[in-house]
Structure 1
Amino acid sequence: MGTAGAIRRLIDMAPLKSWLIVNSRSGSNSEAALVALERSLAAYAMPTAETIAFPAEELPTRTVLESADVARLIVFTGDGTLNAVIEAVAGWSGEVLVLPGGTMNLLSARLHGPDTDYDAILERIARGAFRPVRPKMACCSAGRAHAGVLVGPGTAWAEVREAMRDFDVAGLAQGTSEALAETTGGSRVKMVEPAIGHDDGYPLIELTPSHRGIQVDGFRIESAGEFLQQSWALLRRSFRKGPHERLGLLDRLVIENCAGEPIEVLIDGEPAKLGSRAEFTVEDCPVDLLATAHGF
């Protein structure tokens, strides 16, 4: 049977009961984009029984999904909302289909390959070219990250990105000034277990989970040119395009604030604060995610 015939056979099967979660503040969640997504879901015989618009509506929990006999949760949001969704449904026996609905879509890239649009993903799902997986997460006392954790004073640029997204000119100006001061003058962070990297620390350390462990990258600012390059990279969340160095691929590490102050972190883009010394480990995702890329 050809590809078209195989897809038609699968489409003709009774669809799973699915709910859709969207977020109007996510990078790709325009009204037109949502209409196009619903059209594609219908074309691939994946209609949704209910659409939840977060944050105006509460995220469903495991109990809510089980009581409603929902088998699949389709999530079209950014990485921060995805993190909240996965935490809310931890332990659920259903499956989560992650679609690229944000700005960077780092978790979607892990599951489906970089720059893969949702039509390509839905086509793979429709012909059965997927498998449920539980990818590794980077974990600390403040939460679990499916896309990544940023550690250090450089996380101050997150507020500048929010002002850019909201077209808040006054907030952008103030936030940029504060982020510049924090990145250059804030207390740096360093790895202490294992003791790798510069003793005087880094303005930013990035932790990226994968099936191989946590990839650790340190970002330093040694010149005016590097500072401008890194600041722009932070604003675009293209961290690896700024000056950095690979520090390790680990299952466990400890990061310490060089001045003994609390450690600022971004967990999948959401801010949190840890003690002056923090442990990071890996563990499996608490719910099945559908993957269509060869990495799994």
Structure 2
Amino acid sequence: MSWTPAVDLKSAKIAAVVNVASGRCSRATGAALRGQLARHGLEPAHLWCGLGADLPGVLDEVLADKPDVLIVLGGDGTIRTAAERCEPGGPLLMPLPGGTMNVLPRALYGGRTWRQALDAVAARPQVRPVTGAEVAGQRFFAAAIFGGPSLLQEAREAARYGEFALAARKGLAALRTALDRELICLWDGGDGAKGEAVAVLCPLASARLDPGEARLEAAVIHPEGPIDAVRLVLSAAFRDWRADPDVHCAMAETIEVLGNGPFPGLLDGERFTFEGSLKVRLVPEAFLALTPG
């Protein structure tokens, strides 16, 4: 899978959607987005600002108008919902970070703010096909985490931003349920491992997979106890947690996660509760993203 040549945004039909209820958005964000686009000589044909509860209907309406480019500014749930609606034939998606974890925007644009990401893309727009994955009827495009330790993700993000007291409070609260259930992870129907959490990374988020590789990365996390779990989460804020001795990694086209009873999970930062056994399958070239060239 290779990146395609740059595109001409000034001749494109642009639609923009802003969820004002996301963690870092407000009613003023829509006007700010319009102003930032105007700096590059761009004017959206449609710009919607509103609450996430209205998002599904709004996306249906916006996509029915067949825009060339869809800009989405919001949190992880907003962006994942929009990405699920996009297809290999378009529109081109520009998911801008407006939430807390910003999993998919971070995978595409690094640590840039939404203004910095928009400026970088507008200056030299390029199209990148994004391969994702699907589980229990839901898609994700960067990373999923299954099991109790997924609740520690908020603590990890607090630590990343230097809010160590908040990280400690969230971490200790999450530990009450983080280590009470074991999962089994099987890859390609053969080998497997047991652990308290299973992370699945798409090529976009994996340092070990090439962008065009038709495989997923599975990481099985097995901390020995609460102290190891806290160490794993805090160290993950500053380095690759897959290098940790309590993490077992494998590459596969299909991944099964087996568990008894309900267990929590995160798909691109959005929280879900899953039951029983799950099968994660690859979705090649799920949509096309706009990235800096």
Question: What's the TM-score bracket when you normalise by the shorter of the two chains?
Answer: 0.7 to 0.9
Instruction: Report the equivalent of 1:277.
Output: 277
Contact 1:71 1:94 in 2 (8 A): yes
Letter in 1 for 2:70: L
Match of 2:129 among 130, 134, 140: 134
1:70 aligns with 2:67: yes
Taking a change above 3 Å as real, the CA distance of residues 84 and 63 of structure 1, as seen in their structure-2 partners, is closer
Q: Which residue of 2 aligns with 1:215?
A: 217
- Residue matched to 2:228: 226
Q: Which residue of 2 aligns with 1:205?
A: 198
Q: Secondary structure of the equivalent of 2:195? A: coil
1:68-147 aligned within 5 A? 68-90=65-87, 93-112=90-109, 114-131=110-127, 133-147=128-142
**Residue aligning to 2:33:** 37
Deviation at 1:72, TM superposition (A): 1.8
State the partner residue of 2:181: 187
Cα distance between partner residues in 2 of 1:74 and 1:242:
35
What is the letter of the counterpart of residue 268 of structure 1?
Answer: D
What is the distance in 1 between the residues matched to 2:238 and 2:266? 12
Secondary structure of residue in 2 paired with 1:226: helix
Point out the structure with max Rg over C-alpha.
1
Question: Which residue is equivalent to 2:161?
Answer: none
Aligned partners of 1:75 and 1:98 also within 8 Å:
yes
Please state how far the C-alpha of 1:41 moved relative to its aligned partner. 1.1
Count residues in correspondence. Answer: 266
- For 1:272 and 1:195, the matched residues in 2 are separated by 26
TM-score by length of 1: 0.72
User: Alignment partner for residue 48 of structure 2, among 41, 47, 51?
Assistant: 51
Q: Taking structure 1 as reference, are residues 276 and 22 closer, same or farther at Cα in structure 2, changes over 3 Å only?
A: same
**Residues 1:126 and 1:269: Cα distance change in structure 2 (over 3 Å):** closer
| Paired AA for residue 247 in structure 1 | C
Q: Contact (CA 8 Å) 1:152, 1:204: kept in 2 or not?
A: yes
CA–CA distance in structure 1, aligned partners of residues 176 and 32 of structure 2: 43
Give the whole-Å Cα distance in 1 for the aligned partners of 2:20 and 2:61.
23
**In the alignment, what sits opposite 1:240?**
241
For structure 2, list consecutive stretches of 5 or more residues without a partner in the other structure: 1-7, 157-167, 204-210
Q: Which of structure 1's runs of 4+ aligned residues deviate more than 4 A?
A: 30-35, 60-63, 89-92, 157-161, 175-178, 231-234, 236-239, 241-244
SS of alignment partner, residue 247 of structure 1: strand
Query: Deviations for 1:206-242, whole angstroms, at most 9, x for unmatched residues?
Result: 11111333222222222553233345578x7998389
Aligned to 2:252: 250
Answer whether contact 1:44 1:122 (CA < 8 A) is retained.
Answer: no
Matched position secondary structure for 1:98: strand
Q: Report the Cα distance in structure 2 between the residues aligned to 1:138 and 1:125, rounded to whole angstroms.
A: 25
Instruction: Say if 2:200 and 2:219, in contact at 8 Å, map to a contact too.
Output: yes
Q: Structure 1 or 2: larger strand share? A: 2
1 CA distance for matches of 2:122 and 2:151? 42
Please state whether the residue corresponding to 1:291 is helix, strand or coil.
strand
2:150 maps to amino acid:
T
- CA 1:265–1:142 in 2, change beyond 3 Å: closer, same or farther? farther
1:265 is matched with 265
TM-score (norm 2): 0.73
Structure 1 contact 16–46 (Cα < 8 Å) conserved: no
